[in-house]
Each structure stands twice: as structure tokens, then as C-alpha cells.
Amino acid sequence: MKVRALLIILIVLLPGCLEEEEDTPEVEDAGVSNITLEIFHGESLEDATATYTIKIMLNHTAAPIHADNMRKHVVAGNYDMTHFHRIIDNFMIQGGDFENHDGTGGYAADWYGYCNGQSASQGDCAYTSWTIPDEADNGLLHIPCTISMAKTSAPDTGGSQFFIIPEDSTPSHLNGAHTVFGEVTEGCEHITTISEVATGDNDRPILPVVIYSATLDN
């Protein structure tokens, strides 16, 4: 009777386990995953002066923690309706602050062993202080159409903010300090266009540039 009861329990639980696995797609065998950013330039999507589609391939082999972190932020919907709050022509466009939309907020999507840049125990760190360790010496360079992690000048302080390099920029001085963790596979010309928008104080676009949807393709 005990064996029969155990089999019944397993049969009841099995469908739920399968559903959970389907809701969390695995990274491709090639060590990459792909995301799509839908962006508008304007006060709202309805009144946008332009819309753009950007596709990015995350490199889970060269930068496993950074790629996993961004993937999880995307799956959680954290980047939806976030701003590119800092844009510098011939350099980069920066976004990902899902807390304050101005560059002062954001944190890691999961616990990766660091709290405000310091190795720590998870129980000693509020989730809003979660950061990720640098992977800057992974062989990936800051060349046009790559995506890299924004952080403070201190090591291991990346959280959710990132920057994308347009076609006319090669900021090699960032190599070894910031972590490149992917590349733009479609729409890099749009990154260049966005990098040329008019900006005001603190390099903030005068007319907002907003990610209205970030989705995982695989």
C-alpha cells in the first residue's frame, strides 16, 4: 500500500514539475541566449518620433554571471519601460536603472555572492544591494556593437545597468575594467542613431529614449 500511495503522489506532482521547466527556458548548447529590446524615442509610445528593434546575443561562456544576470532581469520584466538615462555621442548609450530611471538605482537579478561590491553572505545583504563580480578579463573587448556592464569605479559593483557601444565608438580604455558580455546582432545602426539624440544635463536625453519591452528569444 505504501508503494502504491507513493506512485500516486509522484503521478500527481509530475505535471507541475514539467510546467515549471517549460516556464524557464534553458540556455542554448552553444552557450548563448538572445534577447530583443523594443525602444521608442518620445514622451510615450503613442507619440514616439521613432521606434527601434535591437537584438542582442548574450555570451554565457565568456561572461556567465553577467549573461545570466541580464537574462534573469529580462525574464523578470525589470527592463520594461526603463530609460536610456545617459547618452554620449561617439561613445555609448546607458540604461537599465529599473528603480529610479536616472542612473542611481538597480541591483543584481539574483544572489551572486556580492553585496555592494564586497564578498558577503546572502543573509547579511538586502536584495537591493546585490551586485555581481567582475568578469572583465574574459577576452571580450569594447568594440562597436557590444554590450558591457555599467558600475561604479569600485570593483564588483555591477547590478542591472548596462551600456551599448554604437558603430562609431571603440572605447578601449574600458577594457579590463568593465565586462563585455554580449553583442548586438541586429539593429546596431539604431544604437548609433540613438547615440546622436539631443541631450541636456548629465547627458540625459531631452526627449526620453525608453525600452518599452525586453524579451527573451531563447
Q: Is 79 exposed, middle or buried (0-12, 13-18, 19+ CB in 10 A)?
A: buried
Task: State pLDDT tens for residues 76-97.
Answer: 999 999 999 999 999 999 999 9
Instruction: Look at residue 88 in the predicted model and tell me its pLDDT.
Output: 98
End-to-end distance of the chain based on CA atoms, in angstroms? 44
Q: Please report whether residue 201 resides in a domain.
A: yes
C-alpha cell, 43: 514622451
Q: pTM for the full model?
A: 0.88
Q: Please report whether residue 17 resides in a domain.
A: no
Q: Please report whether residue 89 resides in a domain.
A: yes
Instruction: Look at residue 27 in the predicted model and tell me its pLDDT.
Output: 73
Structural domain range at position 185: 28-216
Q: How many domains does the chain have?
A: 1
Q: What is the CATH number of the domain that holds 162?
A: 2.40.100.10
pLDDT averaged per 10 residues in sequence order, the chain, 218 residues: 40 35 57 97 97 98 98 98 98 98 97 98 97 98 98 97 98 98 98 98 98 97
Instruction: Look at residue 28 in the predicted model and tell me its pLDDT.
Output: 61
Q: How far apart are CA 149 and CA 67, in angstroms?
A: 10
Q: Please report whether residue 9 resides in a domain.
A: no
Instruction: Look at residue 29 in the predicted model and tell me its pLDDT.
Output: 65
Q: Please report whether residue 13 resides in a domain.
A: no
Q: Please report whether residue 92 resides in a domain.
A: yes
Instruction: Look at residue 5 in the predicted model and tell me its pLDDT.
Output: 42
Q: Please report whether residue 101 resides in a domain.
A: yes
Q: Please report whether residue 118 resides in a domain.
A: yes
